[in-house]
Amino acid sequence: MTLFVASYLAGVLTILSPCILPILPLVFSRSGPPFRRSALPMLLAMALTFAAVASLAAIGGSWVVQANEAGRYMALLLLGVFGVTLISTRAAEFFHRPLVALGQRLSDGNTAGPQSIGGSLLGVATGLLWAPCAGPILGLVLTGAALHGANAGTVLLLAAYAAGAATSLALAVLVGGKVLAAMKRALGLGERVRRGVGVAVLASVLAIGFGFDTGLLTRLSFAATTGIEQSLLDGLGHDRAAALRVAENGASSGSGMPAQPYRSRLPDLGAAPGFDGAVSWLNTAPLKAQELRGKVVLVNFWTYSCINCIRTLPYVRAWAEEYRDHGLVVVGVHTPEFAFEKKVENIRQAAARFGINYPIAVDNDFRIWRAFRNSYWPAIYLVDAQGRIRHTQFGEGAEALSDRAIQDLLAEAAGHRKAASNFVTPQASGAQAAPDLANIRSGEAYLGFSKASGFASPEGITSDRPQDYSVGKLSLNQWGLDGNWTVGAESARLSRAGGGIALRFSARDLHLVLGSGPAGKSIRFQVTVDGAPPAADHGADIDAAGNGTLSETRLYQLVRQAGEVRERVFEIRFLDAGADAYAFTFG
């Protein structure tokens, strides 16, 4: 019963996740007509469709994945048409005509009119498109079903999750309806509001079509609900290992004799493409997929300045050590985000700094990345002994599920099921330590003009040429430059000594990707927090007085708040010219 309550509450929390943003315009578009005839059919159809699709995915099989993709394309088409009807009255008349005729056939009255039919169709489409951030609770349900087989309990858990999401969206519809009605009464802009919602729907379709709903939005860690869900699990006294057994049905016989040979119920996600395209290899000679047959292979996509990748590395190292003698091979695929991460020597130094001794494929041309159709840093793919992908993990935070999947595939390779071992619990410090998700209110911020956001210097960004900047008044998650800087596509470079960067943030940890320019010389810097030395709040790469030195291009941990996490003003000032600043990240 505990997990059913947790699943429902986790569904309610999806309204706080960035991944739900593309869905909200579709929901608000139903706030005008009566709730019972318009929004309610949509939300019910959405919940039922999501529960059905997720249940099929839990059962597994590549045909389910293909069918769901086809459903997404159909849903995108339907929602695109719906967006056009909101913008154009002529289009609305044209596309609504069949619904009106169908409604007249189905009902003599108004109880099942075109609004209800249209709402139900939109609900089906929204359910197919809905891809919420996979927090711990939903991950436990789906992975438990995949490992042990889906049953009625699995379906009910997924239905509870979907019902929770529908509840929060229903409240959003009711509130949104009142807001829209007030706008219409006060401003007389009903037609403009309707068209604005139509534009938002089309923008959402484009966002989903290009993968922004599960790519860019899921990386906005400051709005993620993972920490809240994990606290919910802990508060309800629910054990992660026990959750994996919720969907178990007939995994072993009453006599204690396991089936022979043992076959994991992890889904078959297709053939692993191998590692052709690596420009170099570290810690090994080049590896071919064929020579790894018979082994379980963990493929970890990472890049060495990515904070999420850095925090996942302790688990990957621990798995490589713990399961090496049982047949696990770990391969790190280093795919760069920034140009400096393409230098093999930089990768070699990073591997030594992080204590990585397993093979690393240098994927500077993104050929392995594209072969796996990957979109994430970090990403984990588990490949079975026959070369088939059987499990994936995108981002950090679900390591226990991956650990259980590793054990399951090793048991499958051995031909018989073994008693589950304890999950690895690596010790990590500095930037590799787990984030404080409950207190993160700041998200990744790039300093290069191609991705810059939150820039508050009054002079505005001048691209690719020196400019004198000053730090203006900063609100939360805004930053500014001080001194003479040249802002390029990927980074900002300090032209003269004495310049600095200021940022108002709210998180336990603050990291900044920094480099010392093409000359590679050491650059001295000083950090202050709220105008004073950081003292006990200093990060791993500076001392209590705030002093540090750039000696290589990498991620530097500059702040770790030792006490209560609150909104602070960070400032770094460079005593030498030539510093490159790339991106802020938080933990």
Model-level pTM greater than 0.75?
Answer: no
pLDDT single digits (tens) 422-458: 888 898 889 999 999 899 999 999 999 998 989 999 9
Domains identified in the chain and CATH numbers? 2-230 (no CATH), 256-432 (3.40.30.10), 437-586 (2.60.120.260)
pLDDT reported for residue 87: 74
Q: How many other C-beta atoms are found inside a 10 Å radius of the C-beta of residue 91?
A: 16
SS3 assignment, position 433: coil
H or E stretch including 8?
helix 2-13
Q: What is the rounded end-to-end Cα distance, in angstroms, of the chain?
A: 33
Structure tokens that stand for 289 in this block: 């997929």
Short-list 424, 475, 503, 508, CA closest to 221:
508
Which region holds residue 166: left if phi is over 0, alpha if psi is between -120 and 50, else beta? Answer: alpha
The 10s digit of each residue's pLDDT in 92-111 is 667 655 644 544 454 444 44
The token pair that represents 321 in the structure block:
């050590």
389 - beta bridge partners? 383
- Residue 320: per-residue pLDDT: 96
Q: What are the tens digits of pLDDT across the range 97-148?
A: 564 454 445 444 444 444 455 556 555 655 555 544 444 445 555 544 444 4
Angle at the Cα of 130 from the Cα atoms of 129 and 134, rounded to 5 degrees: 135
pLDDT category, 414, cuts 50, 70, 90?
confident
Q: What tens digit of pLDDT does each residue of 499-547 get?
A: 999 999 999 999 999 998 766 689 999 999 999 999 999 999 999 999 9
Measured CA to CA in angstroms, residue 112 lies from 117, 167, 255, 401 at distances of 7, 22, 55, 44
Q: Where are the beta strands (DSSP E) in 80-178?
A: none
The conformation of residue 62, written as its DSSP 8-state character, comes to H
